[in-house]
Amino acid sequence: MMSSEEGWSVRQEGDEPVSPTGQYFNSSAMSVCVLSAFESEVPIDDSPTMDVLRNLFLPVNPRFSSIMVEDKKGEKTWRRVTVNLEDHVNIPVFPSGLTVEAYHKCTQDYLTKIGTEMMRQDRPLWEIHIIKYPTLTGEGTLVFKLHHALGDGFTLYSALFSCIKRADDPSLPFTFPSRTDGKKRELSLWEKAARSLSVGINTGLEFGWSLIKGEDDRSPIRSGDPGVEFRPVVISSLILPLEKLREIKIKVGGTINDVITGIIFLGLQLYVQKENDQSVAFNSTALVLLNTRVVNTYQSLQEIMKPNGKSPWGNQFGFLHVPLPKSYDPERVKPLDFVRQAKKTIARKKNSLAVFLNGMLLETIRKMKGSEVAAKYVHGTLRDTTLTISNMVGPLEKLEIAGHKCRSYYFMVVGVPQSLTITMLSYMGKLRVTFGTEKDFINEQRLVSCMEKAFDMMYQEARDYK
């Protein structure tokens, strides 16, 4: 933290308060960042970088030109500072003359390196890394490292999209897949009463369970070691066609999220089975990120920054605790059963107010004991579970950054006290599933292979299903 000679910063006029969640994510308990990587179709020309950052990126929000400071009372605020752009731009140099496969490995190692490094607190909490070497998935990679204290995925991507244009027609806005299946029918009075009763019961059960839930078992996907958030993370991914995911969805109903969650659960079971010689079924829990905003798609920066808008800037999300299904031999279980179970479990948990009660509990802890204690509570919630699953919706059209058409892009959350983080991002009819795995603990290649097998098993059963 930036401080005065007395060890604390004196609050100044113009300082803006840091949101509670922003304080949790940048505290003594944890420091959580987001890596957002854009893979270019052409070699990267870094000459427009400074102009784009100065004229498009910095004006998006004052937080990109601010540092977080703390006063004597422990209250944290954002303070505007002069930004030296050269401090935020990094262009790594790799050995020359390597193969594409070798440069792909160099890029993976570089992402592991920057994912482990702590961000300096005496400058605004963002960086850009321009990797000018080809990989198996692009001719170059542009990486934004953004501290999660700046905002959640919704607002951070809305900010990035202000610097990005449609490749086919820059004058047109991006379009995004709809998350709804049309208008919902009006419920009868009895149906409303039954739903209210169901919400009440589910809320009590889910909130109570979240309070008494213990620590997950150590397993092939959870080391459970202290300080796992400081260990290197290997980033790997696979791409699934949304068209085939929709075919599976039609067979079992539900949503694309239900389908991909089922695939992830089956893939994890296959991986655990390969890594576990004793055929033990572990108690494992996934934290599924839930957007608590009242909107379902990206909005313009004008809408986000509007006072009292529906989608204000900041962190607005909660976690659903979803237990992973247990199976001693997942290959003998019908793959689509994993989707049905995921659909049933997530629907029940969404049909409750436990997420909001947990938020109220956290706010009570913050008011009574301070943000650092609340941050430790959040850290403990993450530490005691096995993995986090987060998803974002990307545009249907190809995007372009400063003249560079984007072949694909993905994001990963780093600094989380878990051995495994899974993120999903749709783009141009495909779904990029990305895995952040604890280095030298989880075999990332085997994990990706198990996920591919889970998808193939599920798609084949869906095609044979009558």
* Judgement on whether residues 151 and 225 belong to the same structural domain of the protein: no
C-alpha–C-alpha distance, residues 325 and 323, integer Å: 6
In-domain check, residue 30: yes
Owning domain of residue 314? 189-395+416-464
In-domain check, residue 136: yes
Domain CATH number, residue 452: 3.30.559.30
In-domain check, residue 442: yes
In-domain check, residue 6: no
Chain centroid to CA 435: 11
Task: State the residue for tokens 């570089």.
Answer: 110
In-domain check, residue 184: no
* Judgement on whether residues 220 and 363 belong to the same structural domain of the protein: yes
C-alpha–C-alpha distance, residues 62 and 173, integer Å: 24
Boundary of a domain, candidates 151, 166, 181:
166
* Judgement on whether residues 269 and 162 belong to the same structural domain of the protein: no
* Judgement on whether residues 213 and 141 belong to the same structural domain of the protein: no
* Judgement on whether residues 211 and 116 belong to the same structural domain of the protein: no
C-alpha–C-alpha distance, residues 301 and 22, integer Å: 20
Domain CATH number, residue 68: 3.30.559.10
* Judgement on whether residues 140 and 228 belong to the same structural domain of the protein: no
* Judgement on whether residues 457 and 382 belong to the same structural domain of the protein: yes
In-domain check, residue 182: no
Total structural domains in the chain? Answer: 2
* Judgement on whether residues 239 and 129 belong to the same structural domain of the protein: no
In-domain check, residue 175: no
Tens of each residue's pLDDT in the chain, 466 residues: 344 333 455 657 678 888 888 888 999 999 999 999 999 999 999 999 999 999 999 998 889 999 999 887 778 899 999 999 999 999 999 999 999 999 999 999 999 999 999 999 999 999 999 999 999 999 999 999 999 999 887 788 888 888 899 999 999 988 887 655 445 557 667 766 776 777 788 788 777 877 888 899 999 999 999 999 999 999 999 999 999 999 999 988 888 889 999 999 999 999 998 887 665 678 899 988 776 554 555 444 455 455 554 445 556 667 788 889 876 666 677 889 999 988 888 888 778 887 788 888 888 998 899 889 999 999 999 999 999 999 888 899 999 999 999 999 999 999 999 999 999 999 999 999 999 999 999 999 999 999 999 999 999 999 887 6
* Judgement on whether residues 112 and 212 belong to the same structural domain of the protein: no
* Judgement on whether residues 162 and 215 belong to the same structural domain of the protein: no
* Judgement on whether residues 213 and 255 belong to the same structural domain of the protein: yes
C-alpha–C-alpha distance, residues 245 and 373, integer Å: 42
Q: How far is CA 313 from CA 226, 304, 384, 388, in A?
A: 33, 6, 29, 23
In-domain check, residue 404: no
* Judgement on whether residues 121 and 221 belong to the same structural domain of the protein: no
